[in-house]
Structure formats: C-alpha cells, structure tokens
Amino acid sequence: MSRFRPRGVWGFILRRLLLGIVVLILVSILVFLATQALPGDPALAILGRSATPQSLAALRRQLHLDQPVFTQYWTWVTGLLRGNLGRSLEAQEPISTLLSPKLVNSAVLVALAAILSIPLSIAIGAWAALKREKVFDQASSNLLLLLAALPEFVVALVLVILFATTVSHVLPAISTIPPGSRPWNNWVALVLPTLTLVIAVVPYVSRIMRASMIEVLESDYVEMARLKGLPERTVLIRHALPNALGPVFQVIALNLAYLAGGIIVIEFVFNYSGIGGAIREAVVNHDLPVIQALAMLIAAVYVILNLLADVATILVTPKLRTRL
C-alpha cells in the first residue's frame, strides 16, 4: 500500500485535499438528508397555512421533489459544482446574487480580525512565556481569562457603550453597509466589530501560544542552542518560535472557522449584513436552497482552514516534515 502513497509536502497536501473532498461529499449527503429527504413534505413545511394544491405542486417542481431522491441529490450536487446554487424561495433571486455581497462583508470582517489577532496573540503569548510568572505574564493571563469568559455580545455591547453611546460618541454604534457600498468604504464602522472579534480570538490563541512556548523553552534543543552560545535572539526566533507555533495554528484555524459561521451575534449587535444573518433568515423562512448552500459553504470553509493549518504546522515543524 505505502508504495502508492504520494510522498513529501506536496504529497501530503494532495492527500489532505482528497480527504477534504471526501468530507465535503459526506457533508453534502448529510445536508441533503437533513433538509430535503426527511420524511414528510418539505413543500408543505415551507408553505404552511398558505399552501394551496397549485402552490404545493409548483414548489415541489421547483425543489425537484417530484423526482426520485437520488436524482434530486444529483441535480443539486452537480448544480453546486457548476457554481449554480439555485434560487432563494423568499427573495426569488439566484442565491449567488443574494449571498455574494454578504459573503464579501463577512470575509472582510474575519480577515481583518485574523490579520490583527494572530500577530497580536502570538506576541502576547510568546512574551508572557518569556516573562513567566512576572508582572506582564500575570496581568495578561488574568485579563485574557476574564475576556475569554465574556460572550462576544457582552464584549460588543460594552464597546458600544464605551465608544458609541453612553460614555462617548467617537465611533458609530452600528456598522450598516448601505446597498451597493463595500465594507472598506466606511472603515470607521468596522472598528468596533473587528475589535470585538479580536477580543474573542486573542485570549484562546495567546494562551495556547504561551503554553506551547513554555514547553519549547524547556526543551533540550533550546537548552542545547543556548549552551552552544547562540545569541538569545537567534535561540528564540530560529529555534523556539517556529516549534511553538505548530499547535497554535490548529487553534487559529478552529477560531477562524468558528468566526466564519459564528459571527451572527456580532452581525446582530452591529446590524452588519453578513452570512450569519443570512443563515438565520433562511432558517426562519424555511428557505431550503439557501440553507443548503450556506451549510455547504461553511463546511468548505472549515475544511480549507483545517487544511491550511495542517500544512502550516508541517512547514514550521521540522520533526513532522521529515516524517512525511
């Protein structure tokens, strides 16, 4: 068997890609089963009391419910692959038109949060590890523990009270993006939501970074490097940091994936039009095609982020790289 295993980093990426595709296929089957193929009539569930025989028949045709289950699944999956996500039942628009501005909005917010929170938490974690049990370490640990314990909406509301309503009015309280406009057209509005997300992510990542860094600093090879007389700078940056980052990438990936689907609360508090609100609306309105599209999208984000984290871990950890 092992003869056919593609080797090296590229082989690893290839294997993980294939695995990711398998995961997505399984997810697509699950999503399909959970939404469309459940016992009962989805068309009746969607139309409820306003159902008439004509509207039921029309909706069944639109959802392909009049076809065998496998054909329905095939039509849907091949549509997804061709980039045809279907039409929203509520908005009566192609789902891609409906969701693409919201996707951009959510992506901008997550990207901003990532760009700010990753270096920040790595720096805080590493510094705390170096100054272990000293003032910075103790202060940052306690503060981060406190922030980690607060739900995002509490953080968001406290920030709004501080910067937008009761205490001062330096920033807008909401981040509504007017139709046709893009998030970066009004960057001031992005400050509070981004800050909230940064505060949501930094505690977890920096604590992992601190723990990982402490472990690395106590390892034999760091001691060896020091004994060799290498400058402390080189010891830390060349030898300690890369090895400490491995586990941190996994946590970053999980956090970002969580943000991708989990910023619904932030969207509510700041009236920010993103995919979190789209999920909620689709569920409330029984908008089946939109629910399916969003479930697949979020699954894909998870798979891709995990893949990236694994690759990054491999690249920074020589020990793992050589075992491929």
Partner 1 sequence: MTDVSRRQLLVGGAGLAAVGGLAAACGSSSSSPSTGAATGASGAPKRGGNFRLGVTGGGSKDIMDGQNIITKPDQARLVSAFETLLLFDENYQLTENGLAQSVTQDSPTQYTIRLRQGIEFQNGKTLTADDVIYSFQRIGTKAYGLTGYAATATMDIAAMKKLDQYTVRLPLKTPDSTVPQTLGSYTFNMVPTGYKAYPAPQVGTGAYKLKSFTPGQQSVHERNPNYWRTGQPYFDTVTITDFSDATAQSNALLGGQIDAMTDVAPSQVKVLQAQNVGVLVSKTGGWIPICMAIDIPPFDDARVRQAMRLIVDRKGLLEQVFSGYGFIGNDLYAPFDPGYNHSLPQREQDIAQAKSLLKAAGKANLAVDLHTTNGASGMVETATVFANQASAAGVKINVINDPNFYGTQYLKLAFSVDFWGTRAYLNQVQQGSLPTSPYNETHWPPKSGTGSNFESLYNQALAETNPATRVQIMHEMQSAEYEVGGYIIPCFGGLIDGYSTKVKGLKPSKGTLNLDSFGHGYRTIWFG
Q: Which residues bind partner 1 (CB under 8 A)?
A: 48-50, 88, 90-91, 93, 98, 157, 160, 164-166, 169, 172-174, 176, 178-180, 267-271, 273, 277, 280-281, 284-285
Shortest distance, position 64 Cβ to partner 1, whole Å: 22
| Closest to partner 1 by CB, 191 or 254 | 191
Nearest CB to partner 1, comparing residues 265 and 304: 265
Select 48 or 229, whichever has its Cβ closest to partner 1: 48
* Least gap, CB of 89 to partner 1 (angstroms): 9
CB of 57 to partner 1, least distance (A): 16
Q: How far is the CB of 275 from partner 1 (least distance, A)?
A: 13
Q: What are the DSSP calls for 172-213, one per residue?
A: -S-----TT--GGGGGGGGHHHHHHHHHHHHHHHHHHHHHHH
Nearer to partner 1 by Cβ, of 101 and 242: the residue is 101
201-214 exposure pattern, b = at least 16 Cβ within 10 A, e = fewer:
bbbbbbbbbbbbbb
Q: Which is nearer to partner 1, 104 or 230 (CB)?
A: 104
Q: How far is the CB of 285 from partner 1 (least distance, A)?
A: 7
- Closest contact distance (angstroms) between CB of 276 and partner 1 is 9
Cβ neighbours around 40 below 10 Å, total? 7
Burial 287-314 (b: 16+ CB within 10 A, else e): bbbbbbbbbbbbbbbbbbbbbbbbebbb
Measured from the CB atom, the residue of 137 and 267 that comes closer to partner 1 is 267
* d(C-alpha 262, C-alpha 239), whole Å: 35
Contacts of residues 178-186 at CB distance under 8 Å and 24 or more positions apart, as own/partner, are: 179/101, 182/104, 182/108, 183/104, 183/105, 183/108, 183/109, 184/108
Q: Which is nearer to partner 1, 31 or 160 (CB)?
A: 160
Instruction: Give the ranges where 63-94 is alpha helix by DSSP (H).
Output: 69-81
**Contact (Cβ atoms closer than 8 angstroms) between residue 200 and residue 155:** yes
Instruction: Decide: helix, strand or coil at residue 81.
Output: helix
Q: What minimum distance in Å lies between the beta carbon of 269 and partner 1? A: 6
